[in-house]
Amino acid sequence: MRTFLVTGGAGFIGSAVVRELIENTGHCVVNVDKLTYAGNLESLSSVESSDRYHFVQADIGDAEAMRATFEAHQPDVVMHLAAESHVDRSIDGPAEFIQTNVVGTTVLLEAARTYWQGLQASNPEKAAGFRFHHISTDEVYGDLEGTDDLFTETTPYAPSSPYSASKASSDHLVRAWQRTYGLPTLITNCSNNYGPYHFPEKLIPLMILNALAGKALPVYGDGQQVRDWLYVEDHARALIKVASEGQVGETYNIGGHNEKANIEVVRTLCALLEERVPDKPAGVARYEDLITFVADRPGHDVRYAIDASKIERELGWTPAETFESGMGKTVDWYLANREWWQRVQDGSYRGERLGVLT
């Protein structure tokens, strides 16, 4: 039994990692999350009563809070997922992305380094097993427009948005802390995730919920932007494998072998909803009729595609879900968990939480 300090554990992917660690391993989890708009403790209701689960509300940019958290919980593994993660928000307001993703990651690295160097003196065996796993995105590699190329672990960085530039910066910092100080780090770069508990501002949940409400399904530009989609629980299992078995200093790309154009994703969702919810809102003949093309996002990358052969070969990870099975599960989850997303939509997921805290 080891202690995993997971940052951003109340977010979309972080909560999947926490649920996987509590439900399917014997490890302890310390979830460190600031609870921004993207943090939702209701995504952890299935595990919050476990005596192996602890929650610390803190900002990764708060050096004293990070020092105290390492001191109190003595983690064996750090899985760093806390970030500002939404590209559109980074275009509207980049400063918060630099603060959390770049400055916050630096503060966390320093807290981890101080703690790990202390362990080297007090508990060399624990220090030797310590890992700092930084979770990043394939967006750091930029755009593959007009090529059949795949992103590999050695593809040069060429980020396009304030979000991907801030994530690229944090990846460089993590590598520097490994090369300069010997901190035992690992990095993963993953493609687009989808699945349960995804915040409704992101493409897939937005389309499901808008379609159910009979609202327009806004698709950027011509909808031909290609992403490689991975079911979030497959990503969570890959991350735990890398944190537990990966080689220190290495980077692993994670992807789902599911290159799809955005418009294809939206049409797939419409078809799934036709089967499951044929009784549509008034005035809607077919869900597809709700598709509306809107002005493209500035700097929008056209194609991302991952070569995930390294993690498959070296760590034996492959995704369990196909695009079809994962999308079906996702639509079913949103249909069965209306309370979760309605409380996000009406803001009560934040109001009630604040009520509990005060």
| Residue ranges binding ligand NAD (CB under 6 A) | 7-8, 10-14, 33-36, 38-39, 59-61, 81-85, 100, 104, 135-137, 167, 190, 192-193, 199
Our answer to whether residue 139 is catalytic in this structure is yes
Q: Cβ closer to ligand NAD: 89 or 113? A: 89
Q: Cβ closer to ligand NAD: 199 or 252? A: 199
Q: Cβ closer to ligand NAD: 10 or 183? A: 10
Our answer to whether residue 307 is catalytic in this structure is no
Inter-axis angle of helices 203-213 and 323-336, nearest 10: 50
Of 163, 197, 287, 304, the catalytic one is 163
Q: Least distance in Å: CB of 121 to ligand NAD?
A: 29
Q: Least distance in Å: CB of 140 to ligand NAD?
A: 9
Q: Least distance in Å: CB of 289 to ligand NAD?
A: 28
Our answer to whether residue 157 is catalytic in this structure is no
> Do residues 29 and 23 touch, judged by C-beta distance below 8 A?
no
* Tokens coding 126: 């624990």
CA distance 358 to 353: 9
Of 33, 59, 76, 138, the catalytic one is 138
- CB-CB neighbours of 137 under 10 Å: 22
Q: Cβ closer to ligand NAD: 98 or 335? A: 98
Closest residue to ligand NAD using C-beta atoms: 11
Q: Cβ closer to ligand NAD: 23 or 201? A: 201
Q: Least distance in Å: CB of 245 to ligand NAD?
A: 20
Q: Cβ closer to ligand NAD: 220 or 280? A: 220
Q: Cβ closer to ligand NAD: 28 or 190? A: 190
Q: Least distance in Å: CB of 195 to ligand NAD?
A: 10
Q: Least distance in Å: CB of 4 to ligand NAD?
A: 15
- Torsion 348-351-357-358 (CA) sign: negative
Of 33, 84, 139, 259, the catalytic one is 139
- CB-CB neighbours of 12 under 10 Å: 24
Q: Least distance in Å: CB of 109 to ligand NAD?
A: 14
- Residues serving a catalytic function are 138-139, 163
